[in-house]
Structure 1
Amino acid sequence: MRIFVKVAETASFAEAARHLHMSAPAVTRAVASLEAMIGARLFVRTTRSVKLTEAGTRYFEDCRRILSDLAEAEAAAGGSYATPTGTLAVTSSALFGQMHVLPILTEFLDGHPAMRARTLFIDRPVNIVEEGIDVAIRIGHLPDSGFTAVKVGTVRRVVCGSPAYFERHGVPVAPADLRGHRVLVSTSAWASPEWRFAGDQRVTIDPILQCNTNEAVIAAASGGRGLTRVLHYQIGPALLAGDLQIVLGDHEEPPLPIHVLYPEGRHAPAKVRAFVDLAVARLRENRLLN
């Protein structure tokens, strides 16, 4: 089962053999033996690809669950189930990870010197299983996945600008007023040319500047170059410093939820349970997220 799962994960007999420190023929024989034993073909093999069959896909999920239960039993017998060990992989969006997840992760490492960690802070959807992620912090409404999700806060979509900009161009009082203002956008976060507000109000914007990072567009807005729309945690420091002000607050859509997400539920290993407990506590304490 372990050999089969590794082949499925890597989509390659040779790559699986390398990970398992086995020869490629030995891996091939093991999978063939498994197929003969269960009486079903698990892979479709060509000279260029290795893909799971329909039966193989179902069997893959069952094997992952069985091997997870076995690892838990082995860890419990050895005592490591109660002690965080190994490497923890955590993902979130880029700026949120840098601002709010990284401090929690470093605190976790300080408390567990034997642990190691890696991050994937990136503004794109991440497949938790395929990319070997233990814990994800997600902003937005979650699709049904079977994963365990713990809500830890909310974030607002806000329109903001600098005091200097408002002195020169006035303050918008309704979403429709945005058509007369200089608009800045981050293409990484707001690719749509339409901004939506409460009451199904919609405004098609014509930005004078498009930046590929949130940091860049926030810097431009703080410098008085125009209005932008971001998640409010992203401008927390600028708000506290007085560099930015939020407008159109009465017209905002309902806030987006923030969840800590992890696959194994109550069967999660100690490293995941310990980090999730800390992350949930710290994120719920964060005034910018509640």
Structure 2
Amino acid sequence: MDRLHGMTVFVAVAEEGGFAAGARRLGLSPAAVTRAVAALEERLGVRLLERSTRHVRVTEAGQRYLDDCRRLLAELDEADEAAAGLNAAPRGLLAITAPVLFGRMYVMPGIVEYLRRYPDTEVSAVFVDRVTNLLEEGYDVAVRIGELPDSGLRALRVGQVRRMICAAPAYLAEHGTPRTPGDLAAHTIVASTGASTQPEWRFRENGGVRAYRVHPRLTVTSNDSAIEAVRQGFGLARLLSYQVAPLLASGALVPLLEPFELPPVPVNIVHREGRHGTARVRALIDLLAARLRGDPALDWTVA
């Protein structure tokens, strides 16, 4: 059996969650896919997939092997593209992930431009408000907001954003403007579980950082819902500056407690490319970096 073929088939079946779906993805017959996986398991002497009448699941040993197969196949793609020349036109499928609201506002316009510029490419975009594992979940590129943990990923900083308290002028006219973080206890709080599940808001105060426990009257599951409630004059919310940049510019929302804000948090494009990098990934990173660094809402020029 061709070892590379077996790896490719196994990855397709594992990612698609079934032999029939994996066969469709590869353009093979289900019988051929079943034989390839069986031969691979026999050669390795370990079961990679648990089969049932309804599901195909990766075993513990299979998950480790799946991660290795993905990495090796990606490196082979890189080697092929490097041999074809660094100026080869981008082609093929690319997977990217980003936070929900940031993805809609800043990443999607870049993806559309990328697809128009390179007609032989395809993009799978997943916008979720959680930290994804690029290797385990099969993403090529991610946009991350916040400090990055140590990892084998490569990162390109493209901006920074602030965590800020906002309210509508109508709310402030009725309830007054908080002057210190301690004043928040007297105000209506709107919180988003999409932004954080932390019941405390932290501020810079008296040369250090102090946490204030908040008691939201309204808790929503998405940042855009929190923004809408605040825009309508219902309370204060703690949001990232990019999320409300248009509303701040128009005067629909007002920033509060700015002297007490924590330092800005970085925005990075992270990726898992190897030494050469595929043309499709390099092209998307370059395009997104240029767009994001040129956006004043991401405050790239501020040290």
What is the aligned partner in structure 2 of residue 174 from structure 1?
Answer: 180
C-alpha spacing 1:87/1:200, structure 2 compared with 1 (3 Å): same
Q: Which amino acid aligns with 2:180?
A: A
Q: Distance in 1 between matches of 2:48 and 2:113?
A: 44
Residue by residue, what CA displacement relative to the aligned partner does 1:171-211 show, whole Å, maximum 9, x if unpaired?
21221110011222223223332212223322222222223
Q: Deviations over 1:137-190 (max 9, x none)?
A: 111222334222111111111011122322332221221110011222223223
Segment drifting more, 193-202 vs 7-16:
7-16
Equivalent residue in structure 2 for 1:260, among 269, 272, 278: 269
Contact 2:164–2:256 (CA under 8 A) maintained in structure 1:
yes
Q: Name the % identity.
A: 45
Stretch moving more, 129-138 or 10-19: 10-19
* Paired residues of 2:203 and 2:209 also in contact (CA < 8 A): yes
Kept after mapping to 2: 8 A contact 1:153/1:258 = yes
Aligned residue for 1:112? 118
Shift of the alpha carbon at 1:234? 0.8
Determine if the alignment matches structure 1 residue 43 to structure 2 residue 42. Answer: no
Give the alignment partner of residue 71 of structure 1, picking from 77, 87, 96. Answer: 77
**Superposition map of 1:31-180 within 5 A:** 31-38=37-44, 40-43=45-48, 45=50, 47=52, 49-54=56-61, 56-78=62-84, 82-180=88-186
1:264 CA displacement:
1.5
- Aligned equivalents of 1:268, 1:192: Cα separation in 2: 38
Q: What secondary structure is seen at the aligned counterpart in 1 of 2:46?
A: coil
1:275 Cα deviation (Å)?
Answer: 1.0
1:243 to 244, 252, 267: 252
1:35 and 1:213 mapped to 2: Cα distance?
Answer: 44
Q: Deviations over 1:18-56 (max 9, x none)?
A: 433444454344344334545x425264546543344x5
Q: Normalized against structure 1, the TM-score is what?
A: 0.85
Corresponding pairs, count: 288
Equivalent position SS for 2:101: helix
Do the aligned residues in 1 keep the contact of 2:163 with 2:239 (CA within 8 Å)?
yes
- 1:77 is displaced (CA, Å) by 4.5
Secondary structure of residue in 2 paired with 1:149:
strand
1:177 partner amino acid: D
Distance across 1 between alignment mates of 2:197 and 2:118 = 40
**Which amino acid counterpart does residue 58 of structure 2 have in structure 1?**
K
Q: Distance in 2 between matches of 1:171 and 1:239?
A: 16
From the superposition, tell whether residues 247 and 132 of structure 1 become closer, same or farther in structure 2 (CA, over 3 Å). Answer: same
Distance in 1 of aligned mates of 2:49 and 2:225: 47
- Counterpart of 1:240, as a letter, is A
Preserved CA contact (<8 Å) 1:160 1:244: yes
| Conservation of the 8 A alpha-carbon contact between 2:159 and 2:267 | yes
Determine which of 272, 287, 290 is the counterpart of 2:296.
Answer: 287
Query: Which residue of structure 1 aligns with residue 3 of structure 2?
Result: none
**One-letter amino acid matched to 2:244:** I
Amino acid in the other structure paired with 2:147: H
1:25-36 matches, within 5 Å, as 25-36=31-42
The TM-score normalised by the length of structure 2 is 0.82
Deviation at 1:58, TM superposition (A): 4.5
Residue ranges of structure 1 left out of the alignment (5+ in a row): none
SS in structure 1 of the partner of residue 134 of structure 2? coil
Match of 1:276 in 2: 285
